Amino acid sequence: MTDTTAHTEPVPTPEPPVPQPDDVTTAWWDATREHRLTVQQCSACQAVQHPPRAVCVACSTLEGLTQVDVSGRGEVDSFTVVHRAPRADVATPYTIARVRLAEGPILLTRIHPHQTVSIGDAVEVTWWDLTDGRALPVFRPTTSSTTT
């Protein structure tokens, strides 16, 4: 049985530990404040990459790397269900997934609570709002197969 409601739940309490933005990741984090999922694009070779880096992994340029919006849709590339959390105050089970975005890059992310996925499932982004104004992208299945 799966939860087919489409509402967004608040971020779990306590909030997961989230790194502070740095010179390379500030633009990515700023976009999350507007619930925009972005990847980094190179203006020299047009390659896209994630996570944000100081260098283009395709052509090695150090300049012209900008964040561009993506569709927020992708496919589960791999996943694991965590039953023993790294901290005692983190509720289990939860699902960590590698999502291959429609635009190509892979995002390591969480699957929305109460949703189950399989490899190859189509997923879409939703957001957990953090208290500091940033947000974390989490993914949920785009279509729920009918389970009766």
Nearest to Zn ion of 42, 125 (CB atom)? 42
Q: Does 65 bind Zn ion (CB under 5 A)?
A: no
Q: Does 62 bind Zn ion (CB under 5 A)?
A: no
Q: Does 135 bind Zn ion (CB under 5 A)?
A: no
Q: Pick from 67, 107, 71, 113: which is nearest to 94 by CA?
A: 113
- Beta bridge partners, 66, equal 41
Nearest to Zn ion of 32, 49 (CB atom)? 49
Q: Does 68 bind Zn ion (CB under 5 A)?
A: no
Count Cβ neighbours within 10 Å for each residue of 105-118 and write b for 16 or more, e otherwise: bbbebbbbeebebe
Q: Does 59 bind Zn ion (CB under 5 A)?
A: yes
Q: Does 39 bind Zn ion (CB under 5 A)?
A: no
Residue 53 Cβ, how far from Zn ion at the closest point, in Å? 11
Residue 63 Cβ, how far from Zn ion at the closest point, in Å? 10
Residue 80 Cβ, how far from Zn ion at the closest point, in Å? 32
Among 8, 16, 35, 45, binds Zn ion (CB under 5 A): 45
Nearest to Zn ion of 23, 63 (CB atom)? 63
| Pairing status of strand 48-49 against strand 38-42 | antiparallel
Q: What is the helix, strand, coil percentage profile of the chain, to 5?
A: 5, 35, 60
27 backbone dihedrals φ, ψ, rounded to 5°: -65, -35
> What is the rounded CA–CA span in Å between residue 27 and residue 25?
6
Binding site for Zn ion (CB under 5 A): 42, 44-45, 47, 56, 58-59
